[in-house]
Amino acid sequence: MTDIKTQISDDIKEAMRQKDKERLAALRLILASFKQKEIDERIELKDEHSIAILNKMAKQHRDSIEQFGKANRDDLIKKEQQELDVIESYLPKKMPSEKIDLLIEEVISETGASSPKDMGKVMGLLKGKLQGRADMSEVSKLIKDKLGN
């Protein structure tokens, strides 16, 4: 299985051949973010880094879409949504909420968490298992509910 960065590089070449300007622009944006991370931290990107970057980019695009919606800028919403679709196509498939609930229950019993003070322990274990497969702010809310905030 090829890593995400290699897949995106291959898809850039394909988008160039297809003359798909919108997809090409979005792919170049992703690749630029990857290269920036590699340069800033002097590391070779692994898939978990790539997924973290893609999640951050997706969140930024969702926020932008929300803001553009408030400003009635449909032209900008369309562009952001196209880029978001490309970004999301490289993220792992979302985990069903039932599985997320089950995983939270498992980790809570595994750690012996019983109060909101134990939130960090639970989140620490879940982050590795759910990164890119669930909205971590939603997971955080679920944990708070279960630990009786």
The CATH label, of 1.20.1300.10, 3.90.1640.10, 3.30.1330.200, 1.10.1510.10, for the domain at 4-88 is 1.10.1510.10
pLDDT value for 95: 86
Three-state helix/strand/coil letters over 114-137 = CCHHHHHHHHHHHHHHHCCCCCHH
Identify which has the larger pLDDT, 27 or 147.
27
Q: Is the pLDDT of residue 9 over 80?
A: yes
**Residue 54: strand, helix, or coil:** helix
Question: Could you say which architecture CATH assigns to the domain 97-146?
Answer: Orthogonal Bundle (1.10)
Alpha helices in the chain (DSSP H): 4-18, 21-41, 47-70, 74-88, 97-111, 119-130, 136-146
**pLDDT grade for 4, boundaries at 50, 70 and 90:** very high
What is the rounded CA–CA span in Å between residue 90 and residue 65?
19
Summarize the confidence of residues 111-139 as an average pLDDT. 85
CB atoms within 10 A of CB 52: 15
Which stretch, 61-70, 102-111, 133-142, has highest mean pLDDT? 61-70
- pTM for the model stands at 0.76
Domains of the chain by residue range: 4-88, 97-146
Identify which has the larger pLDDT, 80 or 119.
80
pLDDT value for 11: 97
**pLDDT grade for 16, boundaries at 50, 70 and 90:** very high
Q: Is the pLDDT of residue 90 over 60?
A: yes
Q: Is the pLDDT of residue 92 over 70?
A: yes
Summarize the confidence of residues 45-54 as an average pLDDT. 90
